[in-house]
Structures are given as structure tokens and as C-alpha cells.
A and B are shown apart, each in its own frame.
Chain A
Amino acid sequence: MTDLAKKRFAQLGQQLQLDQLTVVRRQAEGWRNGLTGLTGLVGVVFVLKGRESVAGMPAVWRWTTAALLVAAFGLLLIGALGAVRAAHGQLGQRTWLTGDRLFAAVLDEVERTQDALTAARRTSVVGLCAIVAAIGVSWVVPAEESAAGSKEPATAVPHVLVVTVDGPRCGELMAGDTRTLTLKVAGESGESGGRTPAASGWRSIPFDQVRSITPVRGC
């Protein structure tokens, strides 16, 4: 009984010896396309992104985000170049085109292609993780104004410095009409003498006593 499959696989093996570099290149092209698609997928998934910039984040998180993005860029660049190198070969490689040396060079190049592809795959995945981490940091880290210790949002009420005939008054601008200006002045009730919220008082200043109004960051 003749087992022709044995011979067919032997023939396939002989053919693969000649074609393996082409096969590996084609395989690398598929991987390169997959990695490129994966990188683009991150952009699609994170289209509902959080803040637009790192401004307003605490310094440590701002630098963390920047470092993650720089690392991600470097890793993705290395990965992309590695994938292209695997798919299309190294520029300037030469060998003597004798049968044995070419055969050895093909085997070498197959191994180098596989190594480049493996490195490209790993660096691309790590780079993508770094991008996701950077975006995650920008999502979850609170803004610096609210992290600075103030209980009230910084944009809630503007502070103003009002110069009156009796002297300057600083507080939060609560209300104003044609006759009076109402400020919320911290620590001026006089009862407790402290600067606690409980000691805050509302002061109405007639407009005819106002000399100037200047917006300030705080009192």
C-alpha cells in the first residue's frame, strides 16, 4: 500500500523551504495590518474622551500623563517600524547568491523577521496600554482647583474687592441691584472672631459708598 500523503507532505516541505521567506513576509503583513487596526481602534473607542488637555490637573498627574503619552508614542513608533521591517525586510542586506549561502541567508532572515514581528507585537501592545492608561488618568484625576482643599468650586462665586468710603471690603459677590451691592465676607461677623464658614456674614453696601470694584482671585 502506498501512502502518497507522506510523499505530498515531503513535497510540501521541499516547496516551503523555497517559499518560507515569502510566507513569513505575508504573515508579517497580516500582523502589521492587525496592529495598525488595533492602534486605530483605540482612537475609535476613546472618541468619547474626557478632558481635552492636561491643564488643570495636579502636577504629578500631569507629568504622569505626559510620560505615558511619550512612552506610548515611542513604543508605537518602534512597533510600527518593526512591523514594517518584518513585512518588507531590512534595507541594505546583502549576501553572496550562491546556493548554500542564499539558503542560509533565507533561514537567517526568516528568524530575524519572526523576531522583529514578535518585538513589534509586544511594543505595540505595551504602547496601546500606555495610551489607555494616559487617557484613564485624564479621566479619573480631579481638577487641581477642587483638589486644592477648597470645599466650594472655584468658579461658583467670583470674589471682588470693593473700595468704599469706609475702606476696602473683600468678599464673594452675591447680589447687586441699582441701590446696593451684597458681599459675603468671611470672618467678619464679629461674634466668634474666627474665619470659619459659620462666621461668614453678608454685607450690603450702598452704591453711593462704592468707589471701585475689582475682581480678585480670593480674599
Chain B
Amino acid sequence: MPDHVPTDFREHEPAVPPTDTFAVVRSEDGRWYTVTGPCPTCRATVVFRVAYGVLGPPKRLLRGGRRTPEPLTGSIPVYCQCGYPHAEKPPESPDAGCGAFWEVPVPSPAPGTTT
């Protein structure tokens, strides 16, 4: 299987082949997830990181050390960041991939779990 298929750039949500597997790994401190797997369109291996962010000051009265956020549930929208050049990509597009995006379900909250 080639590492990369030079498809034209196109923003679409392809169906994920059932044979594709994705690793969804939570970091040791629990503050980010790393999704690794093949792009359904261009077949390049994509590494996608999602961190826990804050949108405003916390409300709690007592402050502790570093907080571990609640585990992420549901799925993570992932888009291709293969880094290969793709034809037909608009110059103003910030994409670094083929334009495809898909969803990867998050496994049950246990660090190091893969799907």
C-alpha cells in the first residue's frame, strides 16, 4: 500500500473504511488526546492532537495543583494534515492535507486505549 495517494484537494467527509483503525491516546496528565490513523482519502497517516482548553476564569474557590479534565466522550472531528501538496488547493486555504475530514470515536476513558 503506498504511503500517500496524490488526490485533488477537496473538502468533504468521506466514509471511513471499516478496516481503518485509529489510535486515540490520552496523555499521561490527561490534558490532550492524540489521534493517529490513515486518511480515508489520501491514505497518509495523520496525527491529530486535541488539547483541553479554558474559555474563561474558573469559578472554584479553592485552587489546587494541575487539574485533570474530565475524559472526552463522543467523537473527535479529525481532518487530514498529511503535509503533502494536493492539486486544486486554494492558496488561501490553511489546510495542510487533502481536505478530507472524518470523525473518530473516543474509546472508554482509560489512558492508552486504542481503537
Contact = CB atoms under 8 A, between A and B. Distances in A.
A192 interface: no
A17 B77 contact: no
Contacts of B67: 111
Contact of A6 (B50, B53, B56, B101): B101
Interface in A10-26: 10-11, 13, 16-17, 20, 24
B37 to A, nearest CB: 15
Interface string B68-100: 000000000111000000000000001000000
A10 B94 CA distance: 12
Main secondary structure of the interface of A (DSSP, over half): helix
Given A110-B53, A111-B66, A104 B29 contact: yes
A151 interface: no
Interface stretch (A39-47, A50-58, A112-120, A165-173): A112-120
B12 A9 contact: no
Given A111-B66, A111-B67, A114-B58, A10 B53 contact: no
Nearest to B61: A122
A114 B54 contact: yes
Contact of B58 (A7, A11, A103, A118): A118
Given A10-B78, A107-B31, A24 B54 contact: yes
Contacts of B53: 13, 16-17, 20, 110
Contacts of B78: 10
A31 B58 CA distance: 14
Contacts of A27: 56
Given A107-B31, A115-B58, A11 B94 contact: yes
B50 to A, nearest CB: 7
A121 interface: yes
B11 A7 contact: yes
Nearest to A1: B13
Given A4-B11, A10-B79, A115-B58, A107 B51 contact: yes
Interface of B: 11-13, 29, 31-32, 49-54, 56-58, 63, 66-67, 77-79, 94, 101
19 contacts: A2-B12, A2-B13, A4-B11, A7-B13, A7-B79, A7-B101, A10-B77, A17-B50, A17-B53, A20-B53, A24-B54, A103-B32, A103-B51, A107-B51, A110-B53, A114-B57, A118-B57, A118-B58, A121-B57
